């Protein structure tokens, strides 16, 4: 009885750094370090390039973020216990047997909204190999995002979690449409700023970039065949999104699990306009 009571308390332990909160979460209170040669592996024949890139970004952030715990002393007391803590050697990403053919994160993220598969399960044991299992590369990407949020650095540069073992089963979004709207007509935002916004969105697993691109205040979109719209409508020649800027943003978003929805701000913009075709 006493044992199961303690277990319940441990199982209910929150992980405050996780956002959004997973549907099911069990966490312990053990310290586990990331091994200095920690790796992320994939158990699939030909992983798509955007998944490989996402893995590289996760590895780079785990090495460079240097986030310390938001507590008095910044987790200094953990440092004394860390030398004896077990190490996590790798994270293994694999598709469930129920998964369909391997597609890129972008292909999965731009499917019809109710058919996207974002579910994943994550297990971080007390050392050894952690696993993420999902039915799609998009699900693996969501699991990777959750995994990233578990780690802190101590003042000596050891990367660790203090809440192992962590078990998340079938986490999936409460709402398929998790949108953020940016109005680039009233205020122009450079491409780099939009990408920074997309980075932040993907960190909290948002799924739709609602690009309110043009309005009566300005027309910053370059439309092939209709150059005068942007020439006369943009605030300046520097404040225009070229064809390749738009494609760049759509690709950047897709690789981060985000679908781009361009606002239909005008009554009947001909659907034959090639660039807008994919949005309207």
71-100 footprint of ligand NAG as x/- string (CB under 6 A): -------------------------x-x--
Strands 152-153 and 128-134: unpaired
Contact between 135 and ligand NAG by CB under 6 A: the answer reads yes
Cross-strand partners of 171: 120
Are 148 and 61 contacting, i.e. CB atoms less than 8 angstroms apart? yes
How many angstroms separate the CA atoms of 2 and 142, rounded? 36
Nearer to ligand NAG, 78 or 171 (CB): 171
- Asked if 170 touches ligand NAG (CB under 6 A), the answer is yes
Q: Is residue 147 involved in binding ligand NAG (CB under 6 A)?
A: no
By CB under 6 A, is residue 119 in contact with ligand NAG? yes
**Residue 115 binds ligand NAG, judged by CB under 6 A:** no
Q: Which of 181, 196, 198, 246 is nearest to 220 (CA)?
A: 246
Q: Which two tokens stand for residue 182?
A: 């940016």
Q: Is 250 in a helix, a strand, or coil?
A: helix
Among 1, 174, 237, 271, binds ligand NAG (CB under 6 A): 271
With contacts defined by CB under 6 A, name the span among 34-42, 64-72, 199-207, 263-271 that binds ligand NAG: 263-271
| Interface with ligand NAG, residue 121, by CB under 6 A | yes
Nearer to ligand NAG, 84 or 270 (CB): 270
Min dist CB 175 to ligand NAG, Å, is: 17
Helical (H) or strand (E) element with 196: helix 191-203
Establish if 104 lies at the interface with ligand NAG (CB under 6 A).
no
Query: Mapped to the 3 state alphabet, what secondary structure does 46-106 carry?
Result: CCCHHHHHHHHHHHHHHHHCCCCCCCHHHHHHHHHHHHHCCEEEEEEEEECCCCCCCCCHH
Binding residue count for ligand NAG, defined by CB under 6 A: 13
Smallest distance, ligand NAG to C-beta of residue 172, A: 7
Residue whose Cβ sits closest to ligand NAG? 119
Segment near ligand NAG (CB under 6 A), from 12-20, 103-111, 130-138, 191-199?
130-138
Any idea how long the chain is? 280
Nearer to ligand NAG, 42 or 188 (CB): 42
| Residue 270 lies near ligand NAG (rule: CB under 6 A) | yes
- The minimum distance between CB 267 and ligand NAG, in angstroms, equals 8
The three-state DSSP-derived secondary structure of 92-159 is EEEECCCCCCCCCHHHHHCCCHHHCCCCEEEEECCCEEEEEEECCHHHHHHHHHHHHCCCEECCCCCE
Which listed range, 69-77, 114-122, 198-206, 240-248, lies at the site for ligand NAG (CB under 6 A)?
114-122
Site for ligand NAG, rule CB under 6 A: 96, 98, 119-121, 133-135, 139, 170, 268, 270-271
């Amino acid at each position: 009885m006493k044992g199961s009571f303690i277990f319940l308390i441990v199982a209910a332990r929150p992980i405050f750094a996780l956002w959004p909160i997973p549907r099911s979460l069990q966490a312990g209170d053990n310290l586990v370090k990331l091994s200095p040669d920690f790796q992320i592996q994939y158990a699939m024949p030909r992983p798509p390039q955007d998944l490989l890139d996402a893995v590289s970004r996760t590895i780079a952030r785990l090495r460079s973020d240097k986030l310390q715990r938001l507590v008095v002393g910044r987790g200094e007391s953990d440092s004394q216990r860390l030398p004896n803590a077990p190490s996590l050697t790798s994270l293994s990403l694999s598709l469930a047997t129920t998964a369909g053919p391997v597609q890129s994160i972008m292909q999965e993220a731009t499917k019809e909204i109710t058919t996207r598969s974002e579910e994943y399960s994550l297990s971080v044991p007390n050392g050894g190999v952690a696993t993420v299992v999902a039915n799609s590369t998009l699900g693996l990407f969501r699991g990777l995002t959750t995994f990233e949020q578990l780690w802190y650095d101590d003042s000596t540069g050891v990367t660790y979690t203090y809440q192992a073992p962590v078990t998340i089963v079938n986490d999936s979004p409460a709402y398929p449409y998790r949108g953020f709207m940016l109005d680039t007509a009233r205020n122009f935002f450079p491409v780099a700023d939009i990408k920074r916004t997309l980075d932040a969105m993907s960190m909290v697993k948002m799924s739709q970039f609602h690009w309110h691109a043009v309005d009566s205040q300005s027309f910053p979109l370059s439309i092939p065949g209709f150059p005068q719209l942007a020439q006369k409508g943009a605030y300046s020649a520097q404040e225009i999104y070229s064809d390749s800027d738009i494609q760049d943003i759509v690709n950047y978003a897709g690789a981060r699990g985000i679908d781009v929805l361009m606002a239909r701000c005008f009554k009947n913009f001909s659907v034959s306009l090639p660039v807008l075709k994919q949005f309207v």
